[in-house]
Structure 1
Amino acid sequence: MPFPPAWSLLFLAAAMLWPPATRRWALLALAGAYGWAWADGAVDPIALAWPALLVLAAALVRPASPPTARAAGHALFLALAALLFLHLLPGFHNLLVIDPAPLSPGAVPFGMYLNLDKPLVAFWVVLALAPPMAGPDARATLRPAALAWAAAVAVCLGLALALGVVGWAPKWPAAGPIWLINNALLVTLAEEALFRGYLQQQLSVRWRGRPWGAWAALGVAAALFGLAHYAGGWQWMLLAGLAGAAYGMAYRHGGLAAAVLAHLGLNAAHFALFTYPMRAAF
């Protein structure tokens, strides 16, 4: 399906974050996306306050800033990130592209928006903090991504079947392409940027002098990722926590790209082969 110009520019801006040569220009595409969204009525003037506060947070967390300023910047970012992820900040009119309906018999209805708020978190993490984006070469990125994906599929989807959360339901609905594009460019990037590129990375740096530091950082980020899926019940929090551990391993060995690829691979397997998002009764 053709996308409105604002979202086409947003997809372009997200894609530009990956190559080092285009990363610094991603903000131009992002500004164009929000300018077009404003012109189309998808963004209200109040929404411009939130990117402005993210810019302030980025200025505060610079290494040259005093410790108190850096702490304030991180606290401001975390508050904004939580509110943006939960769609609680006013001024955004996200675009409904998949009307809620069951994708397979016995599934809960699934609908999807193209979000203008949540992706801001990914841009902030990548541009303000520059976490490791990939391994030193393609093999060093793809290998941990593939291993993490295989482990996540086997453990998480296998456990989901055993718990009755999902059933075997191969499909590729008409909405599949837009779901895949959104998941690849916005959803997994935003979630991995926050939980791996920010939380795991910051905790790893804080605890780098401890022999258990890297593992603890991975575990805390995975546990918080699981808790973020509280709406699905304890089963979904457990499954998301296990998946988060796999993504954390991918990030540790292959950078943000490896974590995003592992996350996208699990989501795609879930979407195409199993009940999505879950069974209506389990």
Structure 2
Amino acid sequence: MPLLTPWSALFLAAAMLWPPATRRWALVALTAAWGWAWMDGAIDPVALAWPALLAGAAALVRPASGPAARAAGHALFLLLAALLFLHLLPGFHNLQAIAPAPLSADAVPFGMYLNLDKPLVAFWVVLALAPPMAGRDARATLGPAILACAAAAAVCLGLALALGVVGWAPKWPEAGTIWLLNNALLVTLAEEALFRGYLQQQLSLRWRGRPWGDWAALAVAAALFGLAHYAGGWQWMLLAALAGAAYGAAYRHGGLAAAVLAHLGLNAAHFGLFTYPMRAAF
């Protein structure tokens, strides 16, 4: 992949969401990435409708809006988020960064696109709703992230081995660097922003004051995260739900950064040490 592409600007825009000092400027970098993509033919004019609708949803969910307007804004966002995650909205020509091929002898072929559509969900959640981004300090963020990652790796990868979904396959292919960069800045951020920063956070707010509220919000978000992996079968949905519970605990105690780090750590262990994404014979 060439060093300078629209996705380079998109990576920068995603990175700018994290420091409070640069967060307000992330939309400038995102706009530059989209303008670059337009000039490169990576998006069609119809794609501009989707960020415009997301902006409308952001305006509707402001605290000053009435209950009906806020409900409409959340409904619009959820519809757009689902369609963006499933790549069902027209106008995008995402870049294939890794051509489909087995990464190890027993693996199904793996390919990867750099997406312009799915990351929009993360920008909306962070900028429109401002979920907790981190713990009170580095220790309060890294501690939950490390514990959640270790628990998820032990439970999920151990269970995946027991179920025969993956095998032991240490490797670091040539495409590993772009895979890691994409996972760190776009994939885990988008998924954790939606399932933890939005779903878990909104359910916790709705059920605040109830002793079971936070745990129920965590469980519902984790279950929905599992269902989102339906394409891999019941085994993959179970593994994703268990991982989602760990990410939810990291989010509850260390903010979105802790959830993203836990998710990234598990993904990296899976990618580098085990069959990825799963065994072909499974």
TM-score, length basis structure 2: 0.99
2:213 aligns to what?
213
1:201 aligns to what?
201
Tell me the SS of whatever aligns to 1:186: helix
Tell me the SS of whatever aligns to 1:132: coil
1:258-269 mapped onto 2 (5 Å cutoff)? 258-269=258-269
Q: Which runs of 5+ in 1 are unaligned?
A: none
1:57-136 mapped onto 2 (5 Å cutoff)? 57-136=57-136
Q: Which runs of 5+ in 2 are unaligned?
A: none
**Matching residue's letter, 1:3:** L
Partner Cα distance (2:31, 2:179) in 1: 24
Tell me the SS of whatever aligns to 2:98: strand
Query: How far apart are 1:85 and its partner, in Å?
Result: 0.1
TM-score, length basis structure 1: 0.99
Partner Cα distance (2:183, 2:241) in 1: 19
% identical aligned pairs: 87
Partner Cα distance (1:226, 1:4) in 2: 35
Partner Cα distance (2:182, 2:85) in 1: 15
Query: How far apart are 1:281 and its partner, in Å?
Result: 1.6
Partner Cα distance (1:269, 1:7) in 2: 25
CA deviations 1:16-64 (Å, max 9, x no partner) are 0000000000000000000000011000000000000000000000000
Query: How far apart are 1:12 and its partner, in Å?
Result: 0.2
Tell me the SS of whatever aligns to 2:171: coil
CA deviations 1:204-249 (Å, max 9, x no partner) are 0000121100000000000000000000000000000000000000
CA deviations 1:121-164 (Å, max 9, x no partner) are 00000000000000000000000000000000000000000000
Partner Cα distance (1:4, 1:267) in 2: 26
Tell me the SS of whatever aligns to 1:136: coil
CA deviations 1:159-199 (Å, max 9, x no partner) are 00000000000000000000000000000000000000000
Partner Cα distance (1:16, 1:88) in 2: 27
Query: How far apart are 1:4 and its partner, in Å?
Result: 4.0
Query: How far apart are 1:3 and its partner, in Å?
Result: 3.5
Number of matched pairs: 282
Query: How far apart are 1:74 and its partner, in Å?
Result: 0.0
CA deviations 1:59-85 (Å, max 9, x no partner) are 000000000000000000000000000
**Matching residue's letter, 1:264:** L
Partner Cα distance (1:101, 1:150) in 2: 29
4+ residue segments displaced more than 2 Å: 1-5
* 1:8 and 2:8 matched: yes
2:28 aligns to what?
28
Q: Structure 1 stretch 37-46 or stretch 2-11: which is displaced more?
A: 2-11
CA deviations 1:81-138 (Å, max 9, x no partner) are 0000000000000000100000000100000000000000000000000000000000
Partner Cα distance (1:164, 1:72) in 2: 44
2:167 aligns to what?
167
